[in-house]
Amino acid sequence: MPDLYKIIERPIITEKALEANGQRRYAFVVNKAANKIQIREAVTTLFTQPDGQPLVVTDVNTLNVKGKEKRFRAFGRASVGKTAGYKKAIVTLAEGQSIQIFEGV
């Protein structure tokens, strides 16, 4: 899986994830086949510091988020569906570093 843009699909912008940004922890939705080494390399090459220096990733935590069961009413009866599951990566950066796309959100 060499394409870096397929490893990191999108950032997670939630209240809980944005609070963790103050602790240098950033959350991303990643490809289910990506491992921690590939995620670390993708973050260091895709994002840079404001002064142009590469980021130093100290830790990568991954978890698989299961889809939730949703009930809805269709055609006069109750039906059950399911939301899609995904893989989440929480990346911790070195002291004094940040990712600029999360600043000011």
Instruction: Give 62-88 pLDDT, tens digit per residue.
Output: 999 999 999 888 777 888 889 999 999
Domains belonging to the chain, first-starting first, are 4-95 (3.30.70.330)
Backbone angles phi, psi at 21, to 5 degrees: -65, -30
Q: Which two tokens stand for residue 25?
A: 């922890």
**Position of tokens 């055609």?**
75
Question: Are residues 63 and 101 in contact, defined by beta-carbon separation less than 8 angstroms?
Answer: no
Model-level pTM? 0.84
Q: Enter the tokens of residue 9.
A: 């699909």
pLDDT at 17 over 70: yes
Q: Does residue 59 or residue 54 have the better pLDDT?
A: 59
- Measured from the Cβ of residue 11, the count of other Cβ atoms closer than 10 Å reads 15
